[in-house]
Structure 1
Amino acid sequence: MLPFDLPVDVALARPVTDFPSGGGLSLEPKWDGWRALLRTGPDSRVFSRHGTDLTRAMADVAHTARRLPEAVYDGELLAVTDDGTVSFTLLQTSAGKGPKPGAGFSVVFVAFDLLATGNDTTDLRGQAYRERRERMLALLDGAPAGIRPTPATGDDHGALAWVGSLGGAIEGVVAKPLGRPDLPRYGSAWTKWRRRHTADAVITGITAAANPNQQAAVLSRPDPDGRLRAVGVSLPLTPELRRELAPQLHPAADDQLAELPGTVGGLPGSPPVSYLPVVPEIVVEILVDQDRPEFGCYRHRPQIVRVRAGPHTELLRPCAPRIWKAGPSPPSPATTASAAARSGRPSPTSCPTRPPSRRTPRLPVTLDMPGKVADFLRSTELDPAERDALDQGVTIRRGQGYTLRVSAVPAVHLGLLARCQSLDGGPGAPAVPAQRKARREYENLVSTLALTGP
Structure 2
Amino acid sequence: MNLRPPLKVALAQTVGTLPREPGLAYEPKFDGHRMVMFRQADGVVLQARSGRIVTAAFPDLAAAARELPDGTVLDGEVVVWREGRIDFAAVQGRAAATPGRAPGLAARLPASYAAFDVLAAGGTDLRPRRYAVRRERLEELLAGLGPPIQPVPMTTDPELAATWYETLPGIGVEGLVVKRLDQPYKAGTRAWRKLRHTDTRDAVVVGFTGSRQRPASLVLVLPDDDTPVVSSPLPPALRARAGAALTPLTPGGTGTAMAPGLGEVPYRSVPPELSAEVATGTTRHTVTTVLRLKDTDPGDDDGGGAGDG
Instruction: Report the TM-score, using the length of structure 2 for normalisation.
Output: 0.66
Partner of 2:194: 192
- Pair 205,170 (structure 1): closer, same or farther in 2 beyond 3 Å: same
CA-CA distance at 1:51 after TM superposition: 0.6
- Pair 46,123 (structure 1): closer, same or farther in 2 beyond 3 Å: same
SS of aligned partner of 1:170: coil
What is the CA RMSD across the aligned residues, in angstroms?
Answer: 3.8
Partner of 2:276: 297
- Pair 296,385 (structure 1): closer, same or farther in 2 beyond 3 Å: farther
CA contact (8 A) 1:129 1:181 kept: yes
AA at the equivalent of 1:52: R
CA contact (8 A) 1:220 1:228 kept: no
AA at the equivalent of 2:74: Y
CA contact (8 A) 1:78 1:91 kept: yes
For residues 101 and 15 of structure 1, what CA distance do their matches in structure 2 show? 33
Aligned residues: 243
Answer yes or no: is 1:391 the counterpart of 2:307.
Answer: yes
Partner of 1:218: 233
Answer yes or no: is 1:107 the counterpart of 2:111.
Answer: yes
Structure 1 runs of 4+ aligned residues shifted over 6 Å read 381-386
Runs of 5+ in structure 1 lacking a partner?
207-215, 231-259, 274-293, 305-314, 316-380, 394-454
Larger gyration radius, structure 1 or structure 2: 1
CA contact (8 A) 2:130 2:183 kept: yes
Residues 164-202 of structure 1: per-residue CA shift (max 9 Å, x gap)? 636542111111111011112226x21111111679xxx
CA contact (8 A) 2:174 2:196 kept: yes
Answer yes or no: is 1:65 the counterpart of 2:68.
Answer: no
AA at the equivalent of 1:3: N
CA contact (8 A) 2:74 2:117 kept: yes
Residues 315-367 of structure 1: per-residue CA shift (max 9 Å, x gap)? 9xxxxxxxxxxxxxxxxxxxxxxxxxxxxxxxxxxxxxxxxxxxxxxxxxxxx
Structure with the bigger RCO (C-alpha within 8 Å, sep 6+) is: 2
SS of aligned partner of 1:69: coil
AA at the equivalent of 1:75: G
CA-CA distance at 1:228 after TM superposition: 5.1
Matches within 5 A, 1:320-331: none
For residues 101 and 48 of structure 1, what CA distance do their matches in structure 2 show? 17
Matches within 5 A, 1:114-125: 114-118=118-122, 121-125=123-127
Identity %: 31
CA contact (8 A) 2:114 2:150 kept: yes
SS of aligned partner of 2:7: coil
Instruction: Report the TM-score, using the length of structure 1 for normalisation.
Output: 0.47
Partner of 1:20: 19
For residues 186 and 147 of structure 2, what CA distance do their matches in structure 1 show? 29
SS of aligned partner of 1:90: helix
- Pair 102,54 (structure 1): closer, same or farther in 2 beyond 3 Å: closer
Partner of 1:133: 135
- Pair 101,37 (structure 1): closer, same or farther in 2 beyond 3 Å: closer
